[in-house]
Structure 1
């Protein structure tokens, strides 16, 4: 899947990243695809057994990291610490949030991007851009009210080029997705469909 993503990114000129589990970061990065960690902790070097150090994922080849994914929620202070740790390690950041109110709060922490992902739509067959377009437009507005330089992505149920197109029409700068590609019989074909509206 990582090699397919690298090939589609090269062929289309569209930015495509993959966020594997930590154990696979180096192998995924070796394909040449933009590689993202799924999480970093708000820690520095020291006694932190069981935590993920930002510098470690950077050394493994990660270009950036997700923070506060719906499957790994953090308190606001820990999100802030994780953003700072990622910046210290030279990693880009995308902070996830459930709703526009949270988008506004996490935008204030200075990440590179934020992503609105309603948990009830994650892994489903209906895109957030279709099921609840207002949540996307409200998230874009909430982020812009705090910092217009922070990109806004949307995720949850994204699985086709039409979903990407709809997200862009609502003001999103990009999308996050997993199951639409990970569960596909032909990940490359799905990726090609996803980037088609962008080329």
Structure 2
């Protein structure tokens, strides 16, 4: 089970969260990674935690002021990247370009989408995984697996119909170990979450609670 913790721009200590991710990952059967802000990538990667970028742009080396270059996040220590998160939406052509840029740099990719129909389109881009995240549930503490489990099952089916090698992650509202188990029972290969860990008073305890049922 893959657990990807997105720190967004929350006012947390990214290094402390990364150290918790590293330690809990070492002691569990789950694979756990953390996606900090771009400015924190190198410091987070130095902890030894699996580190992901929150975004890369569909660009190559050149005149691209203010953009995020895939090779740049690799140099900072990233192993993968989110693409098309609901808070960083891309046009389809740009999402495709971002996946290609990530592939060029050797980054693993998770393309986010709002619903099963979009999951099918995202899977067609050929990422390593897609993540279904209904925007209305993000940050609510109500997991999609509980609010509308059909969304997860339909997303798994939509991805499988396009490319059975593309894994499906379940996002939005994930905060407990029961949520992780429910996502797995619905066919998800992992979860994408943020506030449940990034806003926790004790990130390590929050992570341990997530993986305990596994």
Asked if Structure 1 and Structure 2 have the same fold, meaning a TM-score greater than 0.5 normalized by the shorter chain, the answer is yes
Using the alignment, how far apart are the partners of 1:105 and 1:73 within structure 2? 14
Using the alignment, how far apart are the partners of 2:211 and 2:81 within structure 1? 21
Q: Which residue of 2 aligns with 1:154?
A: 170
Q: Which residue of 2 aligns with 1:192?
A: 208
Using the alignment, how far apart are the partners of 1:35 and 1:96 within structure 2? 18
- Aligned-pair distance for 1:195? 1.1
Query: What does 1:118-137 correspond to in 2, within 5 Å?
Result: 118-137=134-153
Using the alignment, how far apart are the partners of 1:59 and 1:119 within structure 2? 31
* 2:6 counterpart of 1:6: no
Gaps (5+ residues) in structure 1?
Answer: none
Question: 55, 74, 77: which one pairs with 2:90?
Answer: 74
* 2:61 counterpart of 1:45: yes
Using the alignment, how far apart are the partners of 1:159 and 1:42 within structure 2? 32
Larger relative CO (CA 8 A, sep 6+): 1 or 2? 2
Using the alignment, how far apart are the partners of 1:117 and 1:107 within structure 2? 14
Query: What does 1:16-31 correspond to in 2, within 5 Å?
Result: 16-31=32-47
Using the alignment, how far apart are the partners of 1:29 and 1:14 within structure 2? 19
* 2:155 counterpart of 1:139: yes
- Aligned CA RMSD, in angstroms, stands at 0.6
Q: Which residue of 2 aligns with 1:181?
A: 197
- Aligned-pair distance for 1:197? 2.2
Q: Which residue of 1 aligns with 2:186?
A: 170
* 2:110 counterpart of 1:89: no
After TM superposition, the structure 1 stretch with the greater mean CA deviation from structure 2, 141-150 or 13-22, is 13-22
TM-score (norm 1): 0.98
Query: What does 1:81-120 correspond to in 2, within 5 Å?
Result: 81-120=97-136
> Which SS does the other structure have where 1:145 is aligned?
helix
The CA deviation string for residues 116-139 of structure 1, in whole angstroms up to 9 with x for no partner, is 000000001211110010000000
- Aligned-pair distance for 1:13? 3.5
TM-score (norm 2): 0.92
- Aligned-pair distance for 1:173? 0.3
**Runs of at least 4 residues off by over 6 Å:** none
Gaps (5+ residues) in structure 2?
Answer: 1-16
